[in-house]
Amino acid sequence: MNGFDGALAILGVIIGSYVVGVNDAKIILSAGIGVSFAMGISGAWGAFMAEKAQRVKNIKELEHAMFTDLKNSIIDRASIVAVLWVALVDALSPIITALITLSPFLLAFYNILPLGDAMMASIILNLAVLFALGLFLGRVSKSSKFKQGILMVLAGTVTLLFLLLLELEF
């Protein structure tokens, strides 16, 4: 989910930059990386707190049912590891999706690619990332991977169109 949120947030940065006429790849890269790292920290922190609370509750219920203290047990240690893994995945997801999506702006920053082409390539990459996330979601849910991919791309397209409509208001 955090990868999905990160992809849509970066799409917002890209289209927002286009709408207000940003013509400097460094600004788009800085804003995009800033957003992705903020989302990564937010995701890690939120996931850590929520997951830890749930696992503490589960262990207490298990202790109550078993009439024993599980402190420093394999279950307790596994719970800590699981909490850390969930937080790490939630931290890295938006950062990875952002770096993939923002990569064309690195080429624009080094004058290898015109900024307009970088924007178009970035939007295409963003939609491809969303499609890949949908494929993964379809695989996990054992439902139609293609349908899930299209639904994720649809979310990106709706976001894109909504933000472009804002251009008409400015």
| Pairwise CA distance, residues 14 & 123, whole Å | 8
> How much is the pLDDT for 162?
93
> How much is the pLDDT for 170?
61
**DSSP at 61:** H
| Pairwise CA distance, residues 127 & 155, whole Å | 9
- Domain spans, the chain: 2-163
Residue 14, judged by CB atoms within 10 A of its CB (0-12, 13-18, 19+), counts as: buried
Pick left, alpha or beta for residue 106 (phi over 0 → left; psi -120 to 50 → alpha; otherwise beta).
alpha
Task: State pTM to two decimals.
Answer: 0.84
- In degrees, rounded to 5, the angle at the alpha carbon of residue 80 between the alpha carbons of residues 77 and 81 is 90
The CA R_g of the chain, rounded to the nearest whole Å, is: 20
Residues 16, 20, 23, 27: is their CA dihedral positive or negative? negative
**pLDDT tens per residue across all 170 residues of the chain:** 789 999 999 999 999 999 889 999 999 999 999 999 999 999 999 999 998 999 889 888 888 888 888 888 888 888 889 999 999 999 999 999 999 999 999 999 999 999 999 999 999 999 999 999 999 999 999 999 999 999 999 999 999 999 988 777 66
Furthest C-alpha separation in the chain: 67
